[in-house]
Amino acid sequence: MNKGALLYEGKGKKLFFTEDENLLISEFKDDLTAFNAEKRGNEAGKGALNCKISTQLFKLLEKHGIKTHLVKTLDDTHQLVKKVKIIPIEVVVRNIATGSLSKRLGMKEGTILPFTLVEFYYKDDALGDPILNDEHCLMLGLVKSESDLEELKRLGREINSIMKSFFSDRKLKLVDFKVEFGIDTEGNILLSDEISPDSCRFWDMDTNEKLDKDRFRQGLGDVKVAYEEVLKRILSH
Ligand code: UDP
């Protein structure tokens, strides 16, 4: 499968057309951004690590019945994926308070949440990805119906339960993560985009050491070492 014209370039990936109108090639970039791209960086090899990590996690989720856009990995930094229409809602799932949740609601960082929290954010950089409630989503026509929103919440929780237990076996706490979904030509909701330390927070089970994008954002260093450690643990058994 050959790369055609560039369809879209995001913060972490580029998407290319292919000779098959239903398939795209996704290229994982080395770029890192933080706080709506105010701070930019580049970590050689990060794209390849994210591509491997995301492939492993999508395969894990497929094994547990979650439908995804992944067709196959082509090489170190490229995946062949099904073309979908992305739903412009970032589905954030949280187990432990930190980040914008702590800031917005004054919750102490590290507080274990009494239940899995699912939030929606509007995928719109110009607006700074504002938080949305169900009625906002319906008002803006981001989904067709309330049942689509219920399905996004159900999928978010299901993905969380599969990944939380997978990472717990590998001595990592899954603190929170963001996922995106798309609609394929047959109307199915498919998990799309990526799942990686760019879009998840992972803390070491014993030391609470951060092994994700926050290392870059908080200037903790060793970003690539942390991503390599996540991949190593994913592949460990
Ligand atoms: N997240 C993401 N992309 C975004 C915003 C958030 O991947 O544009 C992820 C982030 O990595 C974290 C979770 O969603 O795992 C919750 O992020 P939060 O709302 O706390 O915002 P942040 O503190 O990252 O700005």
Q: What is the pLDDT of residues 97-156, one digit of tens each?
A: 999 999 999 999 999 999 999 999 999 999 999 999 999 999 999 999 999 999 999 999
Q: Which percentage of the chain shows pLDDT scores above 90?
A: 94
According to CATH, what is the number of the domain 6-82?
Answer: 3.30.200.20
Return the residue whose CA atom lies nearest to atom 24 of ligand 1: 99
In ligand 1, the atom with minimum distance to the C-alpha of 98 is 20
- Position 16, amino acid: F
In ligand 1, the atom with minimum distance to the C-alpha of 102 is 20
Is pTM beyond 0.95? Reply is yes
Q: Please give the Cα distance from 210 to 23 (Å, whole number).
A: 35
Average pLDDT over residues 13-39: 89
Convert the pLDDT of each residue in 42-92 to its tens digit: 899 999 999 999 999 999 999 999 999 999 999 999 999 999 999 999 999
List Cβ neighbours of 106 (8 Å cut-off, separation of 6 or more): none
Query: For residue 121, how far is its CA from the centre of ligand 1 (angstroms)?
Result: 10
| pLDDT, position 1 | 84
| pLDDT, position 40 | 84
Name the DSSP class of 1: -
Return the residue whose CA atom lies nearest to atom 3 of ligand 1: 199
85-234: which CATH topology? D-amino Acid Aminotransferase; Chain A, domain 1 (3.30.470)
Distances (CA, A) of 145 to 12, 56, 93, 135, 142: 30, 32, 21, 10, 9
Query: For residue 81, how far is its CA from the centre of ligand 1 (angstroms)?
Result: 24
Return the residue whose CA atom lies nearest to atom 5 of ligand 1: 178
Convert the pLDDT of each residue in 30-49 to its tens digit: 999 866 566 788 899 999 99
Query: For residue 65, how far is its CA from the centre of ligand 1 (angstroms)?
Result: 25
Q: Show the beta-strand stretches assigned E in the chain.
A: 6-9, 13-17, 23-28, 31-34, 39-42, 70-75, 78-82, 85-86, 89-96, 112-122, 131-132, 172-183, 189-192, 200-204
Residue 22's SS3 state is: coil
| Model confidence at 235: pLDDT above 80 | yes
| pLDDT, position 137 | 98
Q: What is the largest CA-CA distance in the chain?
A: 51
Return the domain boundaries, the chain.
6-82, 85-234
Q: Please give the Cα distance from 154 to 132 (Å, whole number).
A: 17
Return the residue whose CA atom lies nearest to atom 6 of ligand 1: 178
* Average pLDDT value over all residues in the chain: 96
Q: Which residues lie with the beta carbon below 6 Å from any ligand 1 atom?
A: 90, 92, 99-101, 129, 176-178, 199-201, 213
| Model confidence at 218: pLDDT above 80 | yes
Matching fold, domains 6-82 and 85-234: no
| Model confidence at 234: pLDDT above 90 | yes
